[in-house]
Amino acid sequence: MLHLMPSSSDAKSAMIAVAERMFAERGIHEVSMRDVAAAAGQRNNSAVQYHFGGRDGLVLAVFRYRMGQINIARLTYLDDIDSSGRTDTVRALVEAFIYPLADFLATADGSNYARFIARVSPSVDTQSVEFREVSEANNEVVSRLTRALNHLSRRVAVERIDLMSNMTVAALAVFEQRREEGNPVVKADFDTTVDHLVDLMVAALLAPQSEHTRTRSKIAQSTDARVNT
């Protein structure tokens, strides 16, 4: 019988899928590259080094692969809200951020991705040049939201949008973990959870700025101005 060797592309795809799951479950530094290679069916213990240049390259590859898929869906969602005349409404833009990600997480391939992001994103600069081509839609959403939150200073708007991103990922990662462990602390299905999340993030972004945070923001802006002069 003729045994065909897996192609380089197949080997890389297998290692990306395995690494995403293992990093999500255990964290980056608790997973050896030898474990990833073995779990992906690679006989060569140095397969990760060969294909990705090491751990950092593998993490980057997982991010780029998944972000590329979600970027396409998010661009489509932006086109849809533009066609419906909801271009610059805060709710539509929050939906454009959350729904494409949630739709992907609901697929079989996406069942580990929220936990992967939660584990790995604090150590990765997704604004770097390596991510430019797969973050076009995300950057567009952030840019539009920053303009739409005109009741806030630009600095505060950007900070709130960053918090929205982090809280969304954290909430979805917790849901993902509970679902896997059969631990429904709150008896809500995934779609309902996502809808609640959209409502919460819209309310958080539209909340007025307190006098306390307004004062702190002015102090920070004044400090930045002095540093930059």
Q: What is the Cα–Cα distance from 137 to 76, expressed in whole angstroms?
A: 9
Total tally of structural domains belonging to the chain = 1
CATH for 94: 1.10.357
Whether 141 is covered by a domain: the verdict is yes
Classify residue 42 as exposed, middle or buried by CB count within 10 Å of its CB (0-12, 13-18, 19+): buried
Whether 38 is covered by a domain: the verdict is no
**CA of 101: how far to CAs of 109, 113, 204, 222, in Å?**
12, 9, 19, 37
Average pLDDT, the chain: 88
Q: What is the Cα–Cα distance from 40 to 47, expressed in whole angstroms?
A: 10
Whether 187 is covered by a domain: the verdict is yes
Which stretch of DSSP H or E encloses residue 98? helix 90-105
Whether 150 is covered by a domain: the verdict is yes
Inform me whether the pLDDT recorded for 214 exceeds 80: no
Whether 210 is covered by a domain: the verdict is yes
What's the residue count for the chain? 229
Place of tokens 């697929």: 107
- The encoded tokens of residue 63 equal 């991010």
Task: Name the residue type at position 81.
Answer: I
| pLDDT one-digit tens code per residue, 127-152 | 788 888 888 999 999 999 999 999 99
Place of tokens 């959403």: 141
Confidence of residue 126 (pLDDT cuts 50, 70, 90): confident
Whether 197 is covered by a domain: the verdict is yes
**CA of 192: how far to CAs of 93, 99, 117, in Å?**
19, 12, 22
Angle at 164 between CA 194 and CA 124, to 5 degrees: 110
Span 95-107, average pLDDT: 94
151 φ, ψ to 5°? -85, -5
pLDDT of residue 5: 43
Whether 36 is covered by a domain: the verdict is no
pLDDT of residue 9: 79
User: Which domain covers residue 200, as residue numbers?
Assistant: 62-223
Q: What is the Cα–Cα distance from 217 to 222, expressed in whole angstroms?
A: 9
3-state SS class at 65: helix
Residues 118, 169: contact at Cβ < 8 Å?
yes
217 φ, ψ to 5°? -65, -40
Whether 28 is covered by a domain: the verdict is no
Span 68-88, average pLDDT: 94
| pLDDT one-digit tens code per residue, 157-213 | 999 999 999 999 999 999 888 888 888 666 778 899 999 999 999 999 999 998 887
Q: What is the Cα–Cα distance from 76 to 163, expressed in whole angstroms?
A: 24
**CA of 209: how far to CAs of 148, 156, 160, 213, 215, in Å?**
15, 9, 11, 6, 10
The model's pTM is: 0.85
pLDDT of residue 224: 60
More confident: 28 or 145: 145
pLDDT of residue 223: 62
